[in-house]
Structure 1
Amino acid sequence: MTPKTLVASLFAGLLLVATAARADEIQVAVAANFTAPFNKIAPDFEKETGHKLVASFGSTGKFYAQIKNGAPFEVLLAADDETPAKLVKENAAVAGSPYSYAIGKLVLWSAKPGVVDDKGAVLKGGAFERIAIADPKLAPYGAAGVEAMKKLGVYDAVAPKLVTGETIAQAYQFVASGNAQLGFVALSQVLKDGKIDGSAWIVPADLYTTIRQDAVLLNAGKDKAGPVALLKYLQGAKAQAVIKSFGYELAK
């Protein structure tokens, strides 16, 4: 039995024991990079299931701290696979429930055309005053940006110009507003209708550790139909089509 089949079997079993007599209001913690896809998926999920989603968007590291401090989240859509695994190990999430809902892609982006070339040589040229990045201690995309710069051998030269946002959403805002000329963000944030506004370099996957984004059922949601239904829905064809449209890869 494959890991995906095991997850499906687990969700099927949980659905049988969950209380399905009423619609649930599901508390979901969503990694900031997944904001746009989630907001597109949410209305269809609510319409098809009758459950209501109450989503919070932020950094995975901050969500981890909040969950450990008793925040009533029932589902976590993380920006990595380490945090969900850690929560399971620490008995804060349901064993066997984590699965990869998306594989993220890192992009070096500027809101202005002509700033970022298609090979990322701008990093070595240094013709910019500020470069935005999400906090690498809290945000996996920030950590990926640092890793890429180190592999390219430019980190020490670029470090004094770094502007750090708490989340990847804040890093995006720094660039979008012009407070930073360029920055490392998620492809999903800048890809609209298959096109990227401004200028961008999709960072080669071999320059950073694969951003495998895992979903996990938290203890607060383990006996409820809604949270389980959401995790199952995200594996369906309709949700996966939306996820792919924002530039993510799907886990195999």
Structure 2
Amino acid sequence: MALGVSTALALLYSPAHATTIRIGATPSFSDALNDIIASFQNYYIINGNLTYNVVVTTDTTDNLKSAIVSGGATGPYDLFLSSGYVSPYDLATSNPTLVVGSPFRYAIGSLMLYSTSVDISAGLPSSLTKDFVIADPATDFYGKATAQVLATTPGILTALHGDHVKTRDDIGSTFAAVDGGIYGYGFVAKSQICQYYGGAEHYVDGTYHHEYRSNNAAHPYLELALKGIKIARTRATDEEAELASFINFLTGVGTSVGTDILKQYCYKIP
């Protein structure tokens, strides 16, 4: 009898078999995403006794989109989380059989000028005679926003003629170049350098930053609306359930745990 009770308790508290979903995400979102995934897994172990695994691939938006297009129904991702809105909408319009539903907004980012050594707290210097780095506007949504800011910046033609505007493939490698001291300053994602807690934003002591807001009349840029879209990859029923649960967790449906993490990384919630 005791053995039967023990067996029953073991079955009651043993997690169900693990399911796995696969996400393609851009580098600027990787830190926040990793924290969200850890909380998502913990949440569903406690609330549902479910073991959910999540495999993440981080790459440029163009590379992720190319992998989705070439992969078809057996492609590499269940969910595409972009750092902008163009690629998800392009997939939905140009390759509608590869996606499910419409793009959804999960966060709003912001653009920061950042330095570990130069006081740029007032913004770009009036004389742009030193090298600085931006994400490639041709491949990165933050890079496109930066190009829009620079287009309204006095002295930018001088900087371009002097070859002082350097580029990296994406906002992740741009941040690494500034944080590692390769360049004195550069444009990065706010989420890469900011933490929000205790009712205030916090930055690493001894660093400098200046926020460029999309609605700033002097230097406007298109809002950095981060959008995702569900990919029409062949999934089992339990994988489909995990994917739906993750999207809900990310967007604040049923619980605010995921959106609270986004706020901690200084994202705005749609």
| TM category, shorter | 0.7 to 0.9
Amino acid at match of 2:43: E
Gaps of 5+ in 2: 1-15, 45-50
Of the three residues 191, 201, 204, the one matched with 2:210 is 201
Rg larger for: 2
Q: Distance in 2 between matches of 1:108 and 1:164?
A: 14
Q: Distance in 1 between matches of 2:86 and 2:235?
A: 20
Amino acid at match of 2:59: G
Of the three residues 238, 244, 250, the one matched with 2:257 is 238
Q: 1:201 to 1:52 in 2, by over 3 A?
A: same
Q: CA deviation at 1:127?
A: 4.7
Match in the other structure for 2:231: 218
Q: 1:83 to 1:133 in 2, by over 3 A?
A: same
Q: CA deviation at 1:115?
A: 2.5
| Matching of residues 36-55 of structure 1 within 5 Å | 36-49=31-44, 50-55=51-56
Gaps of 5+ in 1: 1-20
Of the three residues 203, 218, 227, the one matched with 2:243 is 227
Q: Distance in 2 between matches of 1:102 and 1:155?
A: 30
Contact 1:23 1:226 in 2 (8 A): no
Q: Distance in 2 between matches of 1:139 and 1:26?
A: 25
Match in the other structure for 1:187: 190
Amino acid at match of 1:93: V
Q: Distance in 2 between matches of 1:231 and 1:202?
A: 29
Q: 1:48 to 1:121 in 2, by over 3 A?
A: closer
Amino acid at match of 1:126: L
- 1:111-153 Cα offsets, whole Å, 9 max, x none, are 22x42132x141x32252x211111111100111111000224
Match in the other structure for 1:177: 180
Match in the other structure for 1:126: 128
2:99 alignment partner, SS class: coil
- Structure-1-length-normalised TM-score: 0.83
Q: Does 1:94 align with 2:100?
A: yes
- 1:185-213 Cα offsets, whole Å, 9 max, x none, are 10000113532231111013232110111
- Structure-2-length-normalised TM-score: 0.78
2:142 alignment partner, SS class: helix
Q: CA deviation at 1:172?
A: 0.4
How many aligned residue pairs are there?
A: 226
1:234 alignment partner, SS class: helix
- 1:93-114 Cα offsets, whole Å, 9 max, x none, are 1123x211001100011122x4
Amino acid at match of 2:113: L
Moved more, 216-225 or 57-66: 216-225
Contact 1:75 1:221 in 2 (8 A): no
Contact 1:163 1:180 in 2 (8 A): no
| Matching of residues 4-153 of structure 1 within 5 Å | 23-49=18-44, 50-70=51-71, 71-89=75-93, 90-91=95-96, 92-96=98-102, 98-112=103-117, 114-118=118-122, 120-122=123-125, 124-128=126-130, 130-153=131-154
